[in-house]
Structure 1
């Protein structure tokens, strides 16, 4: 039973500490939409999404009004489109028509983003996979709400270096096509190692082929709540610190469980998972970097940062799994530079570099996220950064990702403006030494020896 103290405590979290449900994401299978006719395929996709998701936004709004818990985003994820469009699409332009259909459907039902313009190629690319990947720049530059992801590697299969090399070019082309708005197209594009099938967060959400026809996934958040709790135990030992974070994560997750239950019942769609990830926003006090600094760091990026982030990630997971039987997605702490005000300050003052961020990704929820780099960065350098991050995920048996933005026309120290939850980002320095001969080798980096577990 919940008591009056817990009610008041939760209310205070919402009013003063930025507690929210970051997203209700409705996953929709489009496998039964497949057709050899491109016209029929697009009709099937539009009709299914607009039918199943017609009440998603209103249900989210009603829950927010009735329970007083902010529900920031309502989103949709769909089956990877390279699979759905394989029979009908013969050119990249054919896939672009599907992106535009997805965008129309997203606007019709009122969601802010739709994910799943995706391909899964950790071991190799089908013709459809390659066509979709090559269509990404045009698709993202000609739509508003569509997000794209490509899984390039996994612990079981290794790293598809042909796809890694290709994605360097795709990211650069996407940046060029959206240079009028600081290359924002790249903010809707992420590459993965070990991508989960049930992630509710954008830009990486897609509805896995092993999922039900439709499912509700919830992404909770609350960096401000955790920061406030950590601030109450300054100088305490690590056991006390860990217990504090764990108990706070439990409370945050229970709020998400309530919203998940209500959304599932009202939409008449099965509940899937709660993603425990702490996702920052540009708002003051809603920062992962502030939590790390409350732990005792002068600035995020100082020695000890990776250890502090490891504590945070582990205790968030431990607290969350006690609060819900169905925890999934990514679940941990996101470190997107542009979306975290204090992290931006750390970059600006020189405390935080790309190399330190890469080290932090060994223990965080995702990887190099929302990082702006100079627009003249070589394509092969972008591919090299991706390869490094894929290797971290592959060897450590965890999900890692790269969402990197070469801001065309801007250099180190300048600022890229993305607006809204995407925030703004200082353009960061990139190692200028070449990796061209390495990433150009082609083929696949084999899976690590510890992947053989059958």
Structure 2
């Protein structure tokens, strides 16, 4: 690297919050299936602790050697519902505890894959896993869960949507913090390294390393230097910045994979914010010229940002995957929190923004008395956006018992704090109660 490039990279790390947000090891657990979930759980623990034993030491060594923060070390595993298809009476709690114990034993922050893929229907194992979610998330510390309820190819499983509305309500009734660990998807991807929705798809290999990079502060600083530039210049600047950020993720991922003796999979080049000052996606949008996020023009600004990040990042890595783009979690983004508290941004505006960003309604806190059918309606709306637009969408909503609009819930750390946002008081119960499936759109038939 030239001297100027080295200096630039050091400034990104020290002043602009550049980091590797996660190194995630994907592990297939299909070879752990025995037909008895209790026995399977023992094999799950044994494989994870064997295969991932050196993940944290290698990540720490790379971080120390290159001076680049690696914020999280994580594991994603095969969707757990697939591990119990041969068990006539599956009990998933032993597997949930095996995942949690393995994550603690090797020192990773989170482990994802307590998941069911039910876009086109539910097996008995899928149903059992979804029913186990409240207790599983209440009795584990590091386990993250996901349920994929729809896809552009299959449509939306509205029976599963209704069940997930009830499930989210039941999870939050025990402890609203547990609801942070569940994501409900449409068009979930198989190689996502970001939590809480990560899992290791059945088309992936036995084990591999992926990285998730971040850098909202780097992009914001670059945009701030061009106060009067045209959109063409802004887009080119974001592309060049995303290239540099993603290159770091490729470098660290390749180095980690080599030391661990496993394949390198993908770089997820998402802009993932934190509550820290100067690490906000919403601040990028405001730097583009909006008085605050939520102002008319916000969706257009987010579309510009998301597309430019993808275009720049995809040239920096051998393989790009995961979600890749800009995240807009409310509680994890300092400027988004402030906008929500001031009433500048609503759930309806957030929903519009999810049509052009990486995921969906993310880390949104709502009043504790929000009906389960309303939660299901929010999930259905996001799934419809994903299905029609052939993109990944998701909902991570947190109904907070005993709290109402104007209150705040504190999560701490990277999870930040969430103002309780108002929810439309209309009744969706008759719509959700119809059951069945919303068919796939006509443009899904491409064979």
TM over 0.5, shorter chain: yes
**SS across alignment from 1:9:** helix
> How many residue pairs end up in the alignment?
447
**1:399 — aligned with what?**
392
2:107 alignment counterpart:
110
Given the alignment, which residue of 123, 127, 144 partners 1:126?
123
What's the counterpart of residue 154 of structure 1?
Answer: 151
Deviation at 1:124, TM superposition (A): 0.3
Is contact 1:416–1:427 with CA below 8 Å preserved after alignment? Answer: yes
Look up the match of 2:369: 376
Q: Deviations over 1:37-94 (max 9, x none)?
A: 3332111000000000000001110000001110000000000000012223615xx1
TM-score by length of 1: 0.98
Partner SS for 2:331 = helix
Name 1:99's counterpart in structure 2.
96
**Which residue in 1 is equivalent to 2:312?**
319
Q: Tell me if 1:169 matches 2:162.
A: no
- CA–CA distance in 1 between the matches of 2:96 and 2:410? 25
Q: How does 1:332-351 map to 2 (within 5 A)?
A: 332-351=325-344
Deviation by residue 1:363-422 (Cα, 9 ceiling, x = unmatched): 000000000000000000000000000000000000000000001111111001111111
Match of 2:300 in 1: 307
CA contact (8 A) 1:305 1:360 kept: yes
Give the whole-Å Cα distance in 1 for the aligned partners of 2:16 and 2:281. 13
Look up the match of 1:57.
56
Deviations 1:161-195 (A, max 9, x none): 000000000000000111xxxx1010000000000
Give the equivalent residue in structure 2 for 1:288.
281
Provide the residue aligned with 2:233 in structure 1: 240
Greater alpha carbon shift after TM alignment, 337-346 vs 31-40: 31-40
1:51 match: secondary structure: helix
- Aligned mates of 1:344, 1:320 — CA distance in 2: 27
Tell me the TM-score normalized by structure 2: 0.99
Would you say the 8 A contact 2:208–2:262 is kept in 1?
A: yes
Determine the structure 2 residue equivalent to 1:272. Answer: 265
Report the counterpart of residue 330 of structure 1 in structure 2: 323
Higher mean alpha-carbon deviation, 17-26 vs 416-425, is at 416-425
Which residue in the other structure is 2:9 paired with?
10
1:48 is aligned to 47
Deviation at 1:97, TM superposition (A): 1.4
- List aligned pairs for 1:25-104, cutoff 5 A: 25-88=24-87, 90-91=89-90, 94-104=91-101
What is the match of residue 365 of structure 1? 358
SS in 1 for 2:23: strand
5 Å matches for 1:432-447?
Answer: 432-447=425-440
- In structure 2, stretches of 5+ residues that fail to align are none
Cα distance in 1 between the residues matched to 2:177 and 2:132: 17
Q: Secondary structure at the match of 2:141?
A: coil
Conserved? CA contact 1:121–1:151, under 8 Å: yes
CA contact (8 A) 1:219 1:275 kept: yes
Check the 8 A contact 2:49/2:102 in 1, yes or no. yes
- 1:349 & 1:37 partners in 2: Cα distance? 52
Q: Equivalent residue for 1:21?
A: 20
Paired residue secondary structure (2:92): helix
- Residue 4 (structure 1) shift: 1.2
- Whether the 8 Å CA contact 2:307–2:325 is kept in 1: the answer is yes
SS at match of 2:200: coil
The answer on 1:144 being equivalent to 2:141 is yes
Query: What is the root-mean-square deviation of aligned Cα atoms in Å?
Result: 0.7
CA contact (8 A) 2:37 2:92 kept: no
Of residues 401, 416, 431 in structure 2, which corresponds to 1:408? 401
Deviation at 1:3, TM superposition (A): 1.0
Q: Distance in 1 between matches of 2:283 and 2:60?
A: 30
SS of structure 2 residue aligned to 1:301: coil
Q: 1: CA distance between counterparts of 2:401 and 2:25?
A: 34
CA distance in 1, matches of 2:144, 2:405: 27
CA contact (8 A) 1:54 1:109 kept: yes
* Equivalent position SS for 1:337: coil
